[in-house]
Amino acid sequence: MFENFANFLISGALGINPGRINDVSVFFIADAIQIILLMLVVIFGISLIRTFFPTDRLRKFFLNSKFGSAYFLAAILGAVTPFCSCSSIPLFLGFLEAGAPTGVAFAFLATSPLVNEVVFAIMAGKFGFAVAGIYALSGILLGVAAGMILEKLLGRKIETAGSGANIFGTQSDLPTIFGERIKYSAKRALMIFRKMWWIILIGIAVGALIHGFVPAEFFLRTLGESSKVWGVPAAVALGLPIYARSASIVPIIFALTTKGLPLGTALALMMSAAGLSLPEAVILKKIISWRVLVTFFASVAIGIILLGLAFNLSSL
């Protein structure tokens, strides 16, 4: 829907002919509308729920979960929400707002852009149900493992950066009348939007430029001669600057595998581009400290490398 509107605006209203400028413009407008709307709706919803369920009660739920169940619940929620890495951030903020431990919030953030029902369906059609199922399970387990590791390294309460430290305000003086709850939630959503809109647009613009000006053939030329071992970390490094949804990049990954790129290398490229994008890092930096950001990216990158190597070595 957003892409159709962006195409109508760029091609129909503005008359920009198909080409790279058209692709970049459509990508930017569609993603900007989607992410901003999602951010407003999610933060409004989280703030409204917060007025009914005090943070202390939700925090106790997360802290008292048994056998790591909260990590799995967060990762599974990430797997059934069709968000890209940037649009996952509002719900990540919601986890922090609800008093979730560090690991639970990051388990969702790691899994959400990698796995969803759309990706599963497309992968099943391209690679078969076995590969799609293994990929989906691997993505969920990667999120759980990343969450647990990050909580061990960073503790249960993460460092925040600048205005991100108090981005949701305090728990005191929450409204109890329904109309006041609505006003409070709308005000909260707009407040957070005013703090973050510009950094979101910068992140999307970077992703749109890379999306429009870096052709798929570049990755085949760069990675095609790599070994099944060293090609995987190289694919992760190449995927970092890219911003793409898993669902949109699966056909490209399939095309690369049919031309000889090892499956594990191709999947590592896809997971890195979808789950560890540069625009995501730009937006997250507004919320969390450099130490937390680097630790998150490093943990997930290592997990992706291990998964890519497992896919490649299993085919030897």
pLDDT at residue 305 tops 90: yes
Could you tell me if residue 165 is inside a domain? no
Per residue in 66-125, pLDDT (tens digit) is 667 888 888 888 887 766 766 778 778 777 766 778 888 899 888 888 887 767 877 887
**For the residues of 174-215, what is the DSSP string, one character each?**
---SHHHHHHHHHHHHHHHHHHHHHHHHHHHHHHHHHHHHS-
* pTM of the predicted structure, to 2 decimals: 0.69
Could you tell me if residue 111 is inside a domain? yes
pLDDT at residue 40 tops 50: yes
* Domain around 71: 2-160+176-314
The whole-number pLDDT of residue 302 equals 93
pLDDT at residue 167 tops 50: no
Could you tell me if residue 15 is inside a domain? yes
Cα(138)–Cα(143) distance, integer angstroms? 9
Could you tell me if residue 170 is inside a domain? no
Could you tell me if residue 205 is inside a domain? yes
pLDDT at residue 277 tops 90: no
With vertex at residue 79, the alpha carbon angle to CA 76 and CA 83, rounded to the nearest 5 degrees, is 135
Could you tell me if residue 284 is inside a domain? yes
Question: Which pair of structure tokens corresponds to residue 187?
Answer: 């005000």
Could you tell me if residue 212 is inside a domain? yes
Count of domains observed in the chain? 1
Cα(150)–Cα(67) distance, integer angstroms? 17
Q: Of the given ranges (62-71, 177-186, 272-281), which has the lowest mean pLDDT?
A: 62-71
Could you tell me if residue 259 is inside a domain? yes
